[in-house]
Structure 1
Amino acid sequence: MAINVIIAGPRGRMGTEAVEMVTNEPNLQLVACIDRKNDKEKMREYPTLSRLKIPVFEDPEECFHTVQADVFIDLTVPEACFDHATIAIQRHIRTVIGTSGLTNSQIEELSAISKENQTGCIIAPNFAIGAVLMMQFSKMAARYFPDVEIIEKHHDQKLDAPSGTAVKTVDLIKQTRLPKTQGHPNEEEIIPGARGAVDDGIRVHSVRLPGLVAHQEVIFGGSGQTLSIKHDSIDRKSFMSGVKFAVENVIDLNELVYGLENILDK
């Protein structure tokens, strides 16, 4: 039986790819989309949705009330995403979130709502399987190389910095690495911010340029050696296998899971 899916953010770059992926997968069925800037006259902006007669709703409440769905995918912005996910989970629609920029308190609140309603939710800082492995390898390496810096690079339309992938990488590294202040104790930033953001002594540098998609390098330094773990997404299609994987697995969850790495081996 096909999994009925609602997608929020069908006009975005990720949303466009997700619409194409879902409509081309035999075990997935796109039943509606949510776009708060939609109106009936703009259906021509959605050629795939128009051809398949997929309804596009401005109001998420109306969408979730009108359409029977198994899974909701949100690929919007943090402010809208939190509201969408809250409504979906409370209506017992399992939810997959690819929107980055949610605060820790928002994630904790969604986790509580998910648990209360016994309705699964997956928040994935990155859907590319290679990026998930990069984060896991970094966690392993940090046990032996405590000196580490992260350089993440994304397109210039990305709203949050550092990226959700970088934040998740830092969280994973902190699980195996003791806090440490890196660099010379008397170092000075001639230009403020030159050394990047810092979390638990880990330096994070964000690059935003046109032409980029999603890239991250985690650089470890040790006595007489360095180790670099790098991942590059050069096309947003690289994220779709992870989106499909999340949709197929969230069906069996009754609570919130943060990061695809937690379900890869299940």
Structure 2
Amino acid sequence: MEESHIAVQKTIKVDILFKKMTLFFSIAREYGVKVQSLIDVNHHIPDFDNLRPGDVLCVPDDKVEGRVPEQCPEGFEGRYTVQPGDTMFNIAKMFRVDLNDLIDANLHIEDPNVIFPGDVLCVPKEPPEVATKVIISLKIGKNEFGFTDQWEASLYEGAVPGEETAARFTEWKQAVDNVVTFELPEEVRENFEAPFGVEDETYVRIRTLDNNIYPIFDIVTKPFTLGKNVKIIVPVSFISKSIKLPRK
């Protein structure tokens, strides 16, 4: 076999059994090199279809020049430079855009299954804001006073049962079908901030709507971390008591 004159930038060792094209496309994408060049510099491998653990492969030093779009379509004014290991799928997920829309916005990439570090893609200028949902459900053990679904909830940055504090960052919201759902940051009170990302700093406080309902309760859940762009389910379950708590 004719020896290649392509310079080699490094060598890597195969650690698991691979089929040729699966491995070579993966290496080419990671290092931004041409698949054919990768094959050409590894003439010491007699059978590329049967690579074995322990085989050492040379990685050529002929990186593919990044492909850059001449112009991005409306709504895709932002640009992203492909990093090692990126795929169209994970880039679409990163920017929360439909995969087909991302592909259609980047027609300078002939094969969307093969992108290289240094390629420049058209992406949405800013990722769309996705609301955090906090879903609170309540189950009360029945006693001689029966059961009520007439309750409301609010979110606090720190809370104490029976006490109104300045740390309440949502309005009170009445349960519907025994569930309260908050969408944040849309439902954060004016001039307040939600403690996004602050560990174990968010509490749910729930209480009955008035003191004429039995059982009467005013309780606070254990703290949790309020993440962004996530759904948080807070199930609350307790045995009710007929004790009246201060209402403020």
Normalised by the size of structure 2, how large is the TM-score?
0.23
The structure with the largest helix share of the pair is 1
Q: Whose Rg is larger?
A: 2
Normalised by the size of structure 1, how large is the TM-score?
0.22
Q: Which has the higher contact order (CA 8 A, sep 6+)?
A: 1
